């Protein structure tokens, strides 16, 4: 099994292996959106990954949907992220910032001046968010006006520019898992009757305008994107998924991005057989750098790479195995993560998981 250990190049980003770290929301940022100091150690520990995709970083306060998530839109946040990128680079790693706007999956208490969250249409999500007072159902959103859409495109560009100042190797435009760009793409959340709603081309327009604007700012060799054709997380559903995503994959391929990162399934949500077939068909249709995500282990990741994918991303295994690459090389046991410490808290369950060279192996389980 050597494929996952091969070096390679994604656009302008050279990687030392194909074992990538998936974006993982951990809710450990400061209230002002600056990454916490403990995040330097957390990311540095995982620098042996071929590529680290950061947790989602909101492109504005309006883009925030959960308490204590980091931002990437002002100088203070950029300075805090720069400590992280420098630490990762010092260890020989590569890291990209995931640009995030949650859209309707937010709560008024997290929005500027307590305003309603924004969405393509005023349809409330049957989804939970997390506030300073604990879990709450997402608030009723309001529909974005045309000029506001243009302003948000500007926010993506500003965030990408901020990420470059912070020393990132690239950016990933997050258009998966039921957040703002997915809400425009999907039929159950977009009921607009203007140029941003209706046909596949119209529903995809905002997303593609964001991609083009970010490409114009930083270059396509430093831009990746994330999609999720069949994921229903955050009350999202596309009745025309096959047509929608065939179009999107084609448009992404035309832009020659660094990569397309696909969330093929979501933990805890069963995947119907027809969805699995669609994911495989779409994957086979894409001729660019395809990064697969969704409950992969060493064996299944090797298989999907042999079938043509560039890399696979690992989420939960990277939470509890900062030295995942080394463990894969040695066929070593993996530590099981503690779900109680996934979201919020301090170093516990975040930056204190042992490596193979540390003595505490009491929680090790059989490798997957």
**Given phi > 0 = left and psi -120 to 50 = alpha, else beta, which region is 68?**
left
The active-site residue, picked from 66, 179, 207, 247, is 179
Compute the average pLDDT of residues 286-306. Answer: 96
Instruction: Of 50-64, 187-201, 269-283, 299-313, give the lowest mean pLDDT range.
Output: 269-283
* Four-way CATH pick for 3-317: 3.40.50.410, 3.90.960.10, 3.60.20.10, 3.20.20.70: 3.20.20.70
**In angstroms, rounded to a whole number, what is the distance separating the alpha carbons of residues 304 and 301?**
5
DSSP designation for 75: H
Instruction: Please tell me the predicted confidence (pLDDT) of residue 79.
Output: 98
Average pLDDT over residues 17-37: 98
Give the mean pLDDT of the chain. Answer: 95
The span from the CA of 36 to the CA of 15, in Å, is 26
Question: Rounded distance, CA 147 to CA 152, Å?
Answer: 9
Q: Which residue has the higher pLDDT, 291 or 269?
A: 291
Residue 363 pLDDT class (50, 70, 90 cuts): very low
Q: What is the pLDDT of residues 318-340, one digit of tens each?
A: 999 999 999 999 999 999 999 99
> Confidence band (pLDDT; 50, 70, 90) for 35?
very high
pLDDT of amino acid 51? 98
Q: pLDDT-derived band of residue 346, with 50, 70 and 90 as boundaries?
A: very high
Pairing of strands 134-137, 128-131: antiparallel
Alpha helices in the chain (DSSP H): 38-45, 75-90, 146-165, 180-185, 200-218, 241-254, 273-285, 298-306, 316-320, 324-330
How many beta carbons lie within 10 A of that of residue 75, not counting itself? 10
Tokens of 256: 């020659």
pLDDT value of position 358:
76
Q: Any idea what the Cα angle at residue 57 is, between residues 327 and 263, rounded to 5°?
A: 55
CB–CB of 125/104 below 8 Å?
yes
Label residue 359 by pLDDT band (50, 70, 90). Answer: low
Tokens in use for 233? 């997380």
Give the CA count within 13 Å in the CB-facing half-sphere of 16.
13
CB 136, CB 129: distance < 8 Å: yes
pLDDT for position 364: 41
Q: Where do the domains of the chain lie?
A: 3-317
State how far the alpha carbon of 14 is from the alpha carbons of 9, 43, 241, 308, in Å.
4, 18, 33, 18
pLDDT at residue 271 in the model: 84
d(CA 265, CA 87): 31
Given a cut of 50, is residue 365 above it in pLDDT?
Answer: no
End-to-end CA distance of the chain: 14
Q: Check if 179 is active-site.
A: yes
The CA distances from residue 106 to 103, 111, 234, in Å, are 7, 8, 11
Q: What is the pLDDT of residue 368?
A: 42
Dump pLDDT digits (tens) for 241-268.
999 999 999 999 999 999 999 999 987 7
pLDDT in tens, 103-133: 999 999 999 999 999 999 999 999 999 999 9
Please state, for a pLDDT cut of 90, what percent of the chain lies above it. 94
Q: Over the stretch 179-189, which tens digit does the pLDDT of each residue have?
A: 999 999 999 99
What is the per-residue pLDDT across 191-241, written as a single tens digit (0 to 9) for each? 999 999 999 999 999 999 999 999 999 999 999 999 999 999 999 999 999
Q: What is the pLDDT of residues 136-168, one digit of tens each?
A: 999 999 999 999 999 999 999 999 999 999 999
Q: How far apart are CA 145 and CA 132, in angstroms?
A: 29
Nearest CA-CA partner of 256 in 287, 282, 285, 279: 287
The per-residue pLDDT for 1 is: 56
pTM of the model: 0.95
Tell me how far apart the alpha carbons of residues 148 and 42 are, in angstroms, rounded to a whole number: 36
CA dist., res. 244 & res. 221, Å (int): 25
Question: What pLDDT score was predicted for residue 361?
Answer: 45
**Measured distance CA(263)–CA(174) in Å, rounded:** 11
């Amino acid at each position: 099994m050597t494929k996952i250990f091969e070096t390679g190049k994604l656009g302008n980003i050279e990687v030392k292996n194909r074992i990538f770290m998936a974006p993982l929301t951990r809710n450990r940022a400061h209230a002002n959106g600056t990454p916490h100091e403990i995040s330097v150690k957390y990311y540095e520990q995982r620098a042996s990954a071929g590529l680290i995709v950061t947790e989602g970083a909101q492109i504005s306060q309006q883009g925030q949907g959960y308490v204590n998530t980091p931002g990437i839109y002002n100088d203070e946040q950029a300075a805090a992220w720069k400590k992280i990128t420098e630490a990762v680079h010092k260890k020989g790693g590569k890291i990209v910032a995931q640009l995030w706007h949650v859209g309707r999956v937010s709560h008024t208490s997290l929005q500027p001046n307590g305003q309603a969250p924004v969405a393509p249409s005023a349809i409330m999500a049957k989804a939970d968010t997390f506030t300073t007072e604990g879990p709450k159902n997402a608030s009723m959103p309001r529909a974005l006006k045309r000029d506001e859409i243009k302003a948000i495109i500007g926010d993506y560009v500003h965030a990408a520019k901020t990420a470059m100042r912070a020393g990132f190797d690239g950016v990933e435009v997050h258009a998966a898992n039921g957040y703002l760009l997915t809400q425009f793409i999907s039929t159950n959340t977009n009921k607009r009757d203007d140029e941003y709603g209706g046909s596949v081309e119209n529903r995809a327009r905002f997303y593609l305008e964001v991609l083009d604007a970010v490409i114009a700012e930083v270059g396509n060799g430093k831009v990746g994107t994330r999609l999720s054709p069949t994921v229903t997380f955050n009350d999202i559903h596309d009745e025309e998924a096959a047509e929608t995503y065939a179009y999107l994959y084609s448009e992404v391929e035309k832009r020659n991005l660094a990569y397309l990162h696909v969330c093929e399934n979501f933990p805890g949500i069963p995947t119907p057989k027809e969805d699995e077939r669609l994911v495989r068909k779409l994957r086979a249709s894409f001729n660019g750098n395809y990064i697969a995500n969704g409950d992969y282990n060493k064996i299944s990741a090797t298989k999907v790479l042999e079938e043509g994918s560039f890399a696979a991303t690992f989420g939960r295994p990277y939470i509890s195995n900062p030295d995942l690459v080394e463990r894969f090389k040695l066929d070593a046991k993996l530590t099981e993560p503690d779900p109680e410490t996934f979201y919020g808290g301090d170093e516990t369950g975040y930056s204190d998981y042992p490596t193979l060279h540390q003595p505490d192996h009491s929680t090790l389980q059989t490798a997957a």
